[in-house]
Each structure stands twice: as structure tokens, then as C-alpha cells.
Amino acid sequence: MHWIYLALAIIFEVSATLSIKQATLGNTYIWSAIIAVLYIISFSFVYYATKSIEIGTVYAI
């Protein structure tokens, strides 16, 4: 289950990073809020993934 959390963390982090371009093109307040939420979700999943996977492995992946 913790590997699934890690995969979800990666997906949300990539989504947040890709959304940065949208923030520069349009309404920055809405996209900034979306980016913040996506990063918070991503870091939450990283937290749950580190419950059983070593932190070095999580950050390496």
C-alpha cells in the first residue's frame, strides 16, 4: 500500500509542476491555489509512504 502512496505522490507532484505553466498564462490566483493544493496532497502521500519505506528510497524515486 505504501508503494501506491509513493506513486500517487509522484503523480500529484508532476501535476503541480506542470500546472506552473498554466499559472503564468492565465488567472494566476486560481492556478496558484491549485498548485498549492496539489503540492500539499503530494507531500501528504510522501509522509504516508515513509511510514514503511526508507526516506532515502522515497526521495530517490
Number of domains in the chain: 1
pLDDT of residue 58: 85
Task: Give pLDDT, residue 27.
Answer: 74
Placement of cell 532515502 in the chain? 56
Q: Cα(27)–Cα(8) distance, rounded to whole angstroms?
A: 27
Q: What is the pLDDT of residue 13?
A: 95
Query: What range does the domain containing 10 cover?
Result: 2-60
**End-to-end Cα separation, the chain, in angstroms:** 16
Nearest to 19 by CA among 41, 3, 1: 41
Digit-by-digit pLDDT tens for the chain (61 residues) are 889 999 999 999 999 999 988 888 877 788 889 999 999 999 999 999 999 888 888 888 8
What is the pLDDT, as a whole number, of residue 59? 83
Q: What angle do CA 17, 20, 24 make, to 5 degrees?
A: 165
Look at residue 24 in the predicted model and tell me its pLDDT. 84
Task: Name the amino acid, one letter, at 17.
Answer: T
Structure confidence at residue 26 (pLDDT): 75
